[in-house]
Amino acid sequence: MTVVWVIWAAVALDLLIGDPRWLPHPVIGMGKVIRRVEGWIRQRTTSAQGLKRAGILLPVIVAGGSFVLTWLLLELCAAIHPWLAWGAEIVLIATTIAIKGLREAGLEVYGHLRSGNIAEARQALSMVVGRDTAHLDEPEIVRGTVETVAENIVDAVIAPLFFALIGGAPLAMAYRAVNTLDSMVGYKNEKYLHVGWASARLDDLANWIPARLTAGLLTIAAAMFSLRWKQAIKMVRRDARKHPSPNSGFPESAVAGALGIRLGGENSYQGVISFRAYMGDPDRPLEAEDIRVTNRLLVGVSVLFTMLGTAVLGLAAAAGGSLWI
């Protein structure tokens, strides 16, 4: 049952300390490798077809390398002492999830809104979204924050835990590499359309199951917190596939339904207006309290998934199945 305790310890560690700035984070190293590989590719080809073919190297090198390096590190630790390997596994898995960081990002915006400091709320939101925030009013600040927290429940919590349950820290770290690739090169613009296509598609594939699991868990959490769980189910069925992402619409529509609010609408990116499909019905105006409630759903879903996932692992172990440690 060591695996079960490793997963729980990793979640507890993230909830306790999050990602302190003084501690080197693997994502920083991944980002440096991505930039170097991208630069190497662009030095050797400039054609659309050449960039598309070479773009496959990015996930192979970065995600594959992250898996191999993590596995080798754990093997080295295990050769020294099993407890060292367990400790390393806990720390490494904890770096792939961000429950505390995501929650605190939402609460920072919430705190500024509660104190009436709109300028500081806009600034806090600008640190976690790509849209322009300088002229947003309070409802739009709330919308941006709720959308960000809801969407990131998948790639900052459920997906890395999902892969950790399947393949331990090596697979969780490979997922984090895929997600980092998508955030850096997975854009459908002139610069990254070709070189980043493989990274973007792999991220969509990796998040496909976790996104749908998240929508289901959000419905359960909504029922636990006496929110509109039936409406959450209805909005997922009606609106989830309207989102331009094949995955982001599932958590966003579930949260919109559970809170009885409407997400989506017009966003500005460097002055360019973009319309995002509506999620949910505008049964009431958006308010700062929606951020706090969304954070409750974030923590609730994180605990629910950890409970269910480790329960499945425990049953597999009891049935004689093999575990990854």
Residue carrying the six token digits 């792999």: 202
- Quick count: other Cβ atoms within 10 Å of Cβ 29? 15
Burial class (CB in 10 A: 0-12, 13-18, 19+), 247: buried
In a domain, residue 218? The reply is: no
The reported pLDDT for the residue numbered 188 is 86
Q: How far apart are CA 109 and CA 66, in angstroms?
A: 33
pLDDT of residue 315: 84
Query: Does residue 129 have a pLDDT over 60?
Result: yes
- Does residue 130 lie within any of the structural domains? yes
Domain-embedded: residue 243: no
d(CA 59, CA 62) in angstroms, rounded, equals 5
pLDDT score of 323 more than 70: no
Mean of the per-residue pLDDT values of the chain: 95
Where in the chain does DSSP place strands (E)?
Answer: 263-269, 272-279
Q: What is the mean pLDDT of residues 154-181?
A: 97
Characterize 194-221 residue by residue with b for buried, 16 or more Cβ atoms within 10 angstroms of its Cβ, and e for exposed.
bbbbbbbebbbebbeebbbbbbbbbbbb
pLDDT at residue 3, as a whole number:
83
Structure-block tokens of residue 231? 């409406």
Contacts of residue 7, defined as CB under 8 A and 6 or more positions apart, other chains included, come to 93, 161, 164, 165, 306, 309, 310, 313
Residues 252-268 have a mean pLDDT of 97
Number of Cα atoms under 13 Å in the Cβ half of residue 33: 19
> So what's the pLDDT on residue 324?
58
Predicted confidence at residue 82, as pLDDT, reads 93
pLDDT band at 319 (very low <50, low <70, confident <90, very high): confident
Return d(Cα 250, Cα 214) in angstroms, integer: 8
Q: Which of 182, 183, 157, 180 is nearest to 295 (CA)?
A: 157
Domain around 43: 2-207
The 10 Å Cβ neighbour count of residue 52 is: 16
| Nearest Cα to Cα of residue 33 among 60, 51, 6, 2 | 60
pLDDT confidence bin for 317, thresholds 50/70/90? confident
Residue 325 has pLDDT above 80, yes or no: no
Name the domain count of the chain: 1
299 assigned to some structural domain: no
Q: pLDDT tens digit string along 77-119?
A: 999 999 999 999 999 999 999 999 999 999 999 999 999 999 9
pLDDT-derived band at 23 (thresholds 50, 70, 90) equals confident
Q: Are 126 and 269 in contact (CB under 8 A)?
A: no
Contact yes or no for 206/196 (Cβ under 8 A): no
pLDDT over 70 at 214, yes or no: yes
Average pLDDT on 183-192 reads 92
